[in-house]
Amino acid sequence: SDAHGLAADETELAVEGALRPTSLAEFVGQQKVRGQLELLLQAASMQDRPADHILLSGPPGLGKTTLAMIVAHESGRPLRMSSGPAIQHAGDLAALLSSLVPGEVLFIDEIHRMARSAEEMLYLAMEDFRIDIMVGKGAGATSIPLELAPFTLVGATTRSGLLPNPLRDRFGFTAHMEYYEPDELERVIARSASVLAVDVPPIARAEIARRSRGTPRIANRLLRRVRDFVVVHGDTAVGATEADVAAALDLYDVDAIGLDRLDRAVLEALVRRFGGGPVGLNTLAVTVGEEGETIESVVEPYLVRIGFVGRSPRGRVAMPAAYRHLGVPRADGALE
């Protein structure tokens, strides 16, 4: 998805890779999840078996892929990466599963987008390390059981609600990733700044963190744009100033609290066009010209989290904080 510029060109992806922590100890924040994973991995390693299957859910850019890599790295096992959209037939999954080496960690990103037929095959594979392969068609069709090497599945999803219960139930551990606090983002930025060899003093770090929508991937992206700005307009010997940060991020339409153009388009539509709601999600999505799924999994969770948008049985509603941010008086004349 291109929303929030989360997709990037290949150079940017390479840089993103370089910024990824490789151990739980380097992974910033998510203290609860980290502790839970640590125990799970340690027990598996002491008993010399693959760890239980792990489901990671939460908005994009919060570290799900990074954690999958860490699981493989910390348990000293190889990692295979795939994604729901790449598994469109049961056969795709059969090929993937039957080629795993014993103990391999299989990461399936966007697991909620896998084909239905593959989902059913996955239930059995997760539980018994076995699949049934259908051979032939019609009356002559038979199924041949195939033993698999034991593996650890790490599934990631932006919407755990979309997973069928039988699939969700087969994960031994489910973690919900939360948006990061500003001080945690500051630590992500400090670490990344040293990898990128750019000097970002604490005050500039705090300013970037404030505008990162609680999301490490966005923090890293904004940091790279600030670095660009300092290289071109600033003084690399001094490093990034607060003014550099503001100028760089204004240039990329990131506002003072980190909302980007799409976030603001959704808020503007909700407040100005629909009188603050309630309005259905799909109507909102059509109005701003985006996919309903992007609005629901990327835009809305953050706006809800900061108290700008509420969910009611009849649709989404704008909260007072949203009016204040847009500088729009409320139609009912309510005083703040």
Indicate which residues carry an active-site annotation.
Answer: 64-65, 109, 158, 217
Contacts of 230 (CB under 8 A, 6+ apart): 198, 236, 239, 240, 244
CA distance 202 to 303: 27
Secondary structure class of 277 (helix, strand, coil) = coil
Which residues from 213-252 bind ligand ADP, rule CB under 6 A? 216-217, 220
Instruction: For residue 37, give the nearest of 168, 176, 186, 170 by alpha carbon.
Output: 176
Give me the residues paired with residue 311 across strands.
316
In whole angstroms, the minimum distance from the beta carbon of 261 to ligand ADP comes to 20
Secondary structure class of 156 (helix, strand, coil) = strand
CA distance 283 to 207: 34
* Binding flag, residue 108, ligand ADP (CB under 6 A): no
Single out the segment in contact with ligand ADP by CB under 6 A; choices: 23-31, 235-243, 279-287, 300-308.
23-31
CB of 20 or CB of 305, closer to ligand ADP: 20
CA distance 332 to 170: 50
In whole angstroms, the minimum distance from the beta carbon of 208 to ligand ADP comes to 13
* Binding flag, residue 21, ligand ADP (CB under 6 A): yes
Which residues from 163-192 bind ligand ADP, rule CB under 6 A? 188
Residues that bind ligand ADP (rule: CB under 6 A) add up to a total of 20
**Beta strands per DSSP E along 179-275:** none
* Binding flag, residue 29, ligand ADP (CB under 6 A): yes
Contacts of 151 (CB under 8 A, 6+ apart): 50, 97, 100, 102, 103, 104, 105, 106, 129
Contact characters 188-217, ligand ADP, x per CB under 6 A = x---------------------------xx
Single out the segment in contact with ligand ADP by CB under 6 A; choices: 25-33, 201-209, 269-277, 325-333.
25-33
Helix (H) or strand (E) holding 107: strand 105-109
In whole angstroms, the minimum distance from the beta carbon of 98 to ligand ADP comes to 26
* Binding flag, residue 20, ligand ADP (CB under 6 A): yes
In whole angstroms, the minimum distance from the beta carbon of 313 to ligand ADP comes to 30
Q: Residue 72: is it exposed, middle or buried by C-beta count within 10 angstroms (0-12/13-18/19+)?
A: buried
Contact characters 56-95, ligand ADP, x per CB under 6 A = ----xxxxxxx-----------------------------
CB of 117 or CB of 174, closer to ligand ADP: 174
In whole angstroms, the minimum distance from the beta carbon of 149 to ligand ADP comes to 25
Cβ atoms of residues 133 and 120 within 8 Å: no
Q: Which residue has the tokens 């409320």?
A: 330
Cβ atoms of residues 9 and 26 within 8 Å: no
Binding site for ligand ADP (CB under 6 A): 16, 19-21, 27-30, 60-66, 156, 188, 216-217, 220
